[in-house]
Structure 1
């Protein structure tokens, strides 16, 4: 079961329903497309920053948002569609890894450790591109199905 994060506790106190990253795996493509097109709320960025246990700077780098732009997004309260789509990639990978390991700490450790099947790259960093994210998803699928990788 995913552990509660500081962001989740704050959200619960503020009346925002708690989220599981697995929800992203259950959303229809139409719903995901609509959310991405509208741009994720900045709060989603902060939620993922805490879930991934990364600094704001590191998460911004992973989804290719310059620091000044990130500050503007915080003031506006919303990411643009491209940034939202890149954040969605990481949400999906975290959800798949959590589902595979059934443990958030193991999932995070796996996502942050270089993998020989990815040419020695770290899955979160490899997922900076759509092609890389698909390769990480494929690797997770192979592991889940017992294929040596």
Structure 2
């Protein structure tokens, strides 16, 4: 097993290049190494402002678009059913990666933010991806100390893949 990313594109603002995907996979590996996460799967979806606005409204009660959303699989509901696999005699249990969660990025918002901050769109997408990944692992930024911790971890990973400001 290894740490893996599966991705989908539900927007037409940006052509998602193989180079960008390779960079995001490198970010995932570096962030995983830094956090001691070596196995699992992260689902990444690129969307529009309109789509992320709908998700915010539905799942968070926030009536506006944001740049990134993370939905961690380990934050399940108490009554969530357990997945049971039927295994025949002599069959091995399926070797499926643990699903860590979903990261959804608004490409439109990322584009505006990259222009506002004066850095590349690739860097902004990388920042949002590692930010979302850290949220999947339970990090948050509700106060100054936790925000500083997250920002520090994000900047280290981005520097390791060459996405500095």
TM-score between both structures, scaled by the size of structure 1: 0.30
Query: Of the two, which has the highest radius of gyration?
Result: 2
Of structures 1 and 2, the one scoring higher in RCO (CA 8 A, sep 6+) is: 2
TM-score between both structures, scaled by the size of structure 2: 0.28
Higher strand proportion (structure 1 or 2): 2
Higher helix proportion (structure 1 or 2): 1
